[in-house]
Amino acid sequence: MPYSAELKRTSPSCILFLIDQSRSMAEAIGGQAGQSKADGVAEGINRLLQNLVFKCAKSDGVRDYFHVGVIGYGDKVAWSLGGKLAGQRLVPVSVLANNPLRVEERTRKVGTSTTPQKYKFPVWFETVANGKTPMCAALALATKALAEFVRRFSDTFPPIVINISDGKATDGNPEAPATQLRKLSTTDGNVLLFNAHLSSSAAKPIEFPGAEDELPDLDACTLFRMSSPLPDKFRQAAGADGFRVQPTSRGFVFNADLVSVVRFLDVGTRVAHTVR
């Protein structure tokens, strides 16, 4: 049965984020006055990376069940983890855990307590918003890196790629490079490509649609066609999280606000966490 391989340190999976860093990402995210799309995405990515570290932490340390990478695309297309990991590609999660760009001290309320409690928040990926949207080049770079990864780890849970953008590609039609990316495979299935379109308005998101006629414009249809159909386990996870899914649902959310992006990221990676 595809997408059911156990994660082991000798056969890790991979999670790769493609992040739009174009000029328009400096605009406010829909329904979130005062917060830019770029800031919201950076917050979501750093929280998810921290959760990955927690999930891989065992009594003997952080186990390398995943390799992780971030490609940013705006005025340039580049690997975008910061600090000591700057320029590095797909890094084992234990290396990620030990090399944040910085660790911020934050406060939050816990339970019914009125006294904020301090906590540590590691940052690996920072906000950038400049240039155009070279999505095709980002997909090509991802394909090159993942081709090497699946040659090295051919018998493992397939890599998951999550592309987050607020607009259409400015360097051509991204469907062809997306198809090449999705053709890569391990013995457990093809690489999964999920896409999230960020909103500039507070309109209701369209989450995990099952057909193009559910979408409002041609750009949304392009991203839908680029996205992988949801495997059974992912549909079950999305349904359990309250999403309305169909047998034909794809890994795509249109007009997403920050809450939708965070939930989308969680569904997009949770199945791989539990398959061990």
Alpha-carbon 219 to chain mean position: 20
Within-domain flag for 141:
yes
Whether residue 2 lies inside any domain: the answer is: no
Rounded to whole angstroms, the Cα distance separating 154 from 159 reads 11
How many whole angstroms separate alpha carbon 250 and alpha carbon 192?
A: 10
User: Does 229 reside within a domain?
Assistant: yes
pLDDT at 31: 56
What whole-number distance in Å separates Cα of residue 135 and Cα of residue 126? 19
Say if CB 55 and CB 162 are below 8 A apart: no
Give me the pLDDT at residue 276, please.
46
For 214, the domain range is 13-274
Q: Which residue has the tokens 């493992």?
A: 156
Q: If we measure between CA atoms, which residue out of 217, 133, 215 comes closest to residue 168?
A: 133
Alpha carbon dihedral 261, 262, 265, 271, in 10-degree steps, equals: -140
Q: What angle do CA 209, 211, 214 make, to 5 degrees?
A: 70
Read out DSSP for 66-101? Answer: EEEEEEEESSSEEE---GGGTT--SEEHHHHHH--S
**Is 6 within a domain?**
no
- Please report whether residue 1 resides in a domain: no
Report the number of distinct structural domains present in the chain.
1
* pLDDT tens, N- to C-terminus, the chain (276 residues): 688 888 888 999 999 999 999 999 998 876 566 788 999 899 889 988 998 999 899 988 999 999 999 999 999 999 999 999 999 999 999 999 999 999 999 888 777 777 888 889 999 999 899 999 999 999 999 999 999 999 999 999 999 999 999 888 999 999 999 999 999 999 999 999 999 998 776 677 899 999 999 998 888 899 999 999 999 988 988 888 888 999 999 999 998 776 777 788 777 676 655 444
Query: Which SS3 state, helix, strand or coil, does residue 17 take?
Result: strand
Q: What is the distance between the alpha carbons of residues 67 and 159, in angstroms, rounded to a whole number?
A: 9
Residue 4 lies in a domain: no
- Which CATH number characterizes residue 47's domain? 3.40.50.410
5 is a domain residue: no
Q: How far apart (Å, rounded) are the C-alpha atoms in residues 77 and 169?
A: 13
At 274, list the tokens. 């539990």
Given phi > 0 = left and psi -120 to 50 = alpha, else beta, which region is 83? left
pLDDT of residue 275: 40
Residue 3 lies in a domain: no
